[in-house]
Amino acid sequence: MNETRPNGHAGEIKLSELYQEVILDHNKRPRNFKKPDNVTSFAHGVNPLCGDDYHVYLRRDAQGLIQAAGFEGQGCAISKSSASIMTTMVEGKNTAEANELKDAFIRLLTQDTAGAVEREKVGRLKIFEGVKQYPIRVKCATLAWRALEEALKENNQRLEKVTTEE
């Protein structure tokens, strides 16, 4: 793909550079970086190794449709951008669809056998696939998704806090 690069020079943009730009953009300008009004469920996720610490919030209607998603906290560029993109992708989905997306994303990053099906299901989240090369960073990319998993559970099944460490 020949394009004009951000520095004004014409040339081919590598896919990895494009992915990095998206991750950096969501880190600098995270979407839904707030607690939505009238939250119906939430969860807290912590990665004690690196200090990533996020609260994930959902507002769901009586049928389980996610009307709003948000997050607050702090962490590295990978964890923040993953949480940012996650919130934009789960809004408008029902609980089952959000769980299916979460499962596909986690499989994509944690299983060597994840292939075309997971890549198709996760859509633009494929940008995080390169994180698999850095196992310690996989925990960063999946932290908000693990918190989402808890937030989607019924109140009596939900853990108070999820962590990347057993």
Number of domains in the chain: 1
Which CATH number do you get for residue 96?
Answer: 3.90.1010.10
Q: Which of the pair, 125 or 18, is modelled with greater confidence?
A: 125
Tell me what pLDDT residue 164 has: 81
What would the pLDDT profile of 116-152 be if each residue is shown by its tens digit? 877 888 998 989 988 888 888 999 999 999 999 999 9
Cβ distance 45 to 56 under 8 Å? yes
Is 0.75 topped by the overall pTM?
yes
β-bridge partners, 42: 57
Question: What are the counts of helices (DSSP H) followed by strands (DSSP E) for the chain?
Answer: 5, 6
Q: How high is the mean pLDDT of the chain?
A: 87
Cβ distance 146 to 37 under 8 Å? no
β-bridge partners, 126: none
Average pLDDT over residues 78-107: 97
Q: How many CB atoms lie within 10 A of CB 62?
A: 6
Q: How far is CA 81 from CA 4, 25, 75, 127, 142, in A?
A: 25, 8, 10, 11, 11
Tell me what pLDDT residue 70 has: 98
Assign 78 to helix, strand or coil.
Answer: helix
**46: domain range?**
2-163
Q: CA 83 to CA 151: how far, in whole Å?
A: 13
